[in-house]
Amino acid sequence: MLHKITSLTVRDVRFPTSLEQHGSDAMHTDPDYSVAYVVLDTDCGLKGFGLTFTVGKGTEIVVCAVEAVAGLVVGKSLQEIVSDFRGFYRLLTSDGQMRWLGPEKGVIHLAIAAVLNAVWDLWARAEGKDPKQIVSCIDFRYITDALTEEEAVEILVKAQEGKQRREEHMLKEGYPAYTTSCAWLGYSDQLLKQLCTDALKSGWTKFKVKVGADLEDDKRRCRLMRQMIGPDNTLMIDANQRWDVAEAISWVSSLAEFKPLWVEEPTSPDDILGHAAISKALAPLGIGVATGEQCHNRVMFKQFLQASALQFVQIDSCRLGSVNENLAVLLMAHKFQVPVCPHAGGVGLCELVQHLILFDYICVSGSLGNRMCEYVDHLHEHFTSPVVIHDAHYMPPKDPGYSCEMLESSVQSHQYPEGDVWTRPAAGTEKKSK
């Protein structure tokens, strides 16, 4: 069956998370977690679901961008797309006029990620299993100086050894996760302590705390966090792009006594050489640099890796051009021997990225060394196949697809601005600013 795509719809869906400071950090103080939610309809009744993540205002701009690329998708069959997925990816990212809005970055790339996520979901549902044509999905343009198609094939072929054993291990134990849910910047000390206590009882051993607004406050909160989790559990800190390079080095050095494994996004996400300088300065302290959740594309990841500017690669399932571009980054990270620890949370990011990190372990890296995937305990109840966490591990999803289908009731009630959630008094910051 060809599964011809007959329509594409996109909706602006927002959750008023700012009311309780969920997701708050040094740069995003009042986020309302949101998505541009895409549904592909086909002539046989099968649907594909996709999304891209935002934090409130501006989601309508992403929706417009999705509508702008819809004409490149509607009318094509799934078979036509996946038989030349690399060509289809390039069709979306290299349109002669729309690429001027990027190219391969910003709002237009977020929109393309949402559309491609829906295509991957549709393909997985149609196949009833994970797609196998991996390398043919990747656009190697601009990265062959770091990874060739032949090298990618070699990596995947080599990883076939032990693949079944790793699959069985994941089905039994799951993929290790860390939590960010305990220490958003806007949380009170009392709430932080209660959430840490609950998390420790649930088996969590790896914790991340938001920093960057005030150094003395950071010291106090990191000290409190370290006291709560103990000396043997893992602590990470995340500045969300707050500092200049020299300031980052000085600030993180002042927090070294709390023994963080990494500092995340210490400076501008575009400053590759700045990250390299920070990495070099913090190495003697045993602190690594993690970044990538706002890295535009595979080309930037290539340069981060070539410059030894990061010690932990943080892919994002909606910032890059969907599975296609994330596959390129996973393979490059493996070649450069840098562990992948994905960014997740938001709305649907955990549901999406679990597929990518399981693929990395089973089919690419074959290693769990210094690897973990972020988990945030918000909004999973709005999905038909929500992520499953057991003993601080992601358990492999069992339903076909890319796990990003939302409950229609949730979509309708949270659609902006007409949904019930947004027409009631005291909604989030979007309602206040409307």
Burial level of 101, CB count in 10 A (0-12/13-18/19+)? middle
> In sequence order, which residues have a C-beta less than 8 Å from that of residue 261 and are 6 or more positions away?
234, 235, 236, 287, 288
Using an 8 Å Cβ cutoff, are 204 and 373 in contact? no
Nearest to 73 by CA among 166, 131, 148, 8: 8
Using an 8 Å Cβ cutoff, are 285 and 318 in contact? no
Cis preceding-peptide flag for 417 (omega within 30 of 0): yes
Q: How far is CA 22 from CA 15, 193, 196, 291, 369, in A?
A: 11, 16, 15, 21, 30
> In sequence order, which residues have a C-beta less than 8 Å from that of residue 108 and are 6 or more positions away?
65, 68, 69, 98, 99, 101, 102
Catalytic-labelled residue, pool 206, 210, 275, 334: 210
Q: Tabulate helix, strand, coil % of the chain (nearest 5).
A: 45, 15, 40
3-state secondary structure 116-139: HHHHHHHHHHHHCCCCCCCHHHCC
How many other CB atoms sit within 10 Å of the CB of residue 234? 16
Angle of the 85-93 helix axis to the 322-335 helix axis, nearest 10: 110
160, two tokens? 């076939």
Q: How far is CA 258 from CA 38, 185, 278, 354, in A?
A: 43, 17, 18, 29
For the chain, the residue count is: 434
Q: How is residue 27 annotated by DSSP?
A: S
The question of whether 343 is a catalytic residue gets the answer yes
- Residue found under tokens 């044509």: 133
Using an 8 Å Cβ cutoff, are 193 and 228 in contact? yes
* Side chain identity at residue 393, one-letter code: H
Catalytic-labelled residue, pool 343, 355, 382, 414: 343
Query: Which residues have a catalytic role annotated?
Result: 210, 343
